[in-house]
Amino acid sequence: MDFQNTLQFAQQLDKEDTLNQYHHEFHFPVINGKKSIYLCGNSLGLQPKKTKSYVDDVMQDWASLAVEGHFYAEKPWWDYHERLAEPLASIVGAKVNEVSVMNTLTVNLHLLLVSFYTPTPKRYKIICEEKAFPSDQYMLQSQVKFHGFKTEDAIVEVKKREGEHFWRTEDIIEKINEVGDALALVLIGGVNYYNGQVFDMNKITKAGKAVGASVGWDLAHAAGNIEMQLHNWDVDFAAWCSYKYMNSGPGNASGIFINEKHLNNPNIPRFEGWWGTKKETRFLMKSEFEPMENADAWQLSNPPVLSVAPYLASLQLFAAVGMPEIVKKRNRIVAYLEYVLTEIDKEVTSSFEVITPKDRGTQLSVLLHGQGKPLFNYLMKNGVILDWREPNVIRVAPAPLYCSFEDVFNFGQILKKGIQELT
């Protein structure tokens, strides 16, 4: 459609938006006495208002039932995490038995690599994207060294082409085929944290599997942001955090996906703990591990219910709305954001550039030419919350559940005024 960079037009888009009502379901920070323009859902999602009641329920059960809350709370603690499996499966395109919740993201990636990175002297290399999120880099480096290999030999980074800000799928597939039967694992961020690019997970997974490698995905910036079909794409494993687009709270519990074909495999290597054993026999305290027949077999300890409760609260919103509607609004509001940025760029002397390719989710990364951290600080002081990445990129993410088109218009006006004042 033909956009307009006017307040009236933005407000009309909000009237047409079927999800506009949901911004009332969230708490917004207040800056200078006004509700902030929150464009940082790619880093930490806002708190749903219903979160407190979910946590309060657990606290009340703890107070009134103590240990008996494990079995006699309204939502018994011992199987609390199971309530998250169905809505999560819908979000990531999995079967319910392929999904579980446990630990935090990098912990889970380490645990999953116990199962899916089993290098041999011939097949030991790992392919990842250039400058992956630092935690992924550290995790892969330590895994490689743990197995006795040199990182500079075992880790193969796919680079962007000279002068480009994004990766090309054909370059990734070419590198997979080049490494060939030496490739043990492909592990890439499904959505790149820096430029917001969505990788073609289907094609890349097929290419990795074709040469005999395991393929996994870090979905930290993908879960709750883009539609996925992990089961149908034949992905081996994946993990994601819950505190970005899924609004579960800072540092909260991580989700995992393990393809159904790997479940009930007695030969798969795995670190194991009490909560991975069968529910029916768990409290018999047997010395022999009897794995759950689903992804819960990878759990070690009982999930932290006080952390999982906010996650469940947020997932109820996702279940009510559905990913197709979230993606529909996401596409429209991000298109409007890009339009507003383009219009503002025409009006100011100090230009900027959107470096996020068309394969994108909610985030646009904006490279500032002639401006730096002072402009970011100006935006923050004037009620716009987003984030900064060195050397001069701001990441802007209008999360569909709580951001409005009017937010996007007002952000553009504040951005223009900041550039004009600082130039």
CATH 3.40.640.10 for domain 53-321 = yes
Picking from 37, 144, 87, 33, the residue whose alpha carbon sits closest to that of residue 311 is 87
Tell me if 331 sits within 8 A of 325, measured CB to CB. no
Q: Is 80 exceeded by the pLDDT of residue 120? A: yes
Residue 340 has a pLDDT of 97
Q: Is 80 exceeded by the pLDDT of residue 1? A: no
- Residues 229-276: pLDDT tens digits? 999 999 999 999 999 999 999 999 999 999 999 999 999 999 999 999
Q: Which residues pair with 95 in a beta bridge?
A: none
Rounded to the nearest 10 degrees, how much is the dihedral formed by the CA atoms of 96, 101, 107, 113? -10
CATH of 7-35+322-422 among 3.20.20.140, 3.90.1150.10, 2.40.30.10, 2.120.10.90: 3.90.1150.10
- Residues 345-386: pLDDT tens digits? 999 877 789 999 999 999 999 998 877 889 999 999 999 999
Regarding predicted confidence, which is higher, 109 or 391?
A: 109
Mean pLDDT of the chain: 96
Residue 349 has a pLDDT of 79
pLDDT (mean) for 26-46: 97
Residue 423 has a pLDDT of 81
pLDDT (mean) for 165-181: 98
Model pTM score: 0.96
Give CATH 3.40.640.10 domain extents, the chain.
53-321
- Residue 284 CB partners (closer than 8 Å, separation 6+): none
Q: Is 80 exceeded by the pLDDT of residue 216? A: yes
Give the three-state DSSP class for 51: helix
CB atoms within 10 A of CB 388: 17
- Residues 311-355: pLDDT tens digits? 999 999 999 999 999 999 999 999 999 999 999 999 987 778 999
Give CATH 3.90.1150.10 domain extents, the chain.
7-35+322-422
Residue 350 has a pLDDT of 74
pLDDT (mean) for 302-312: 96
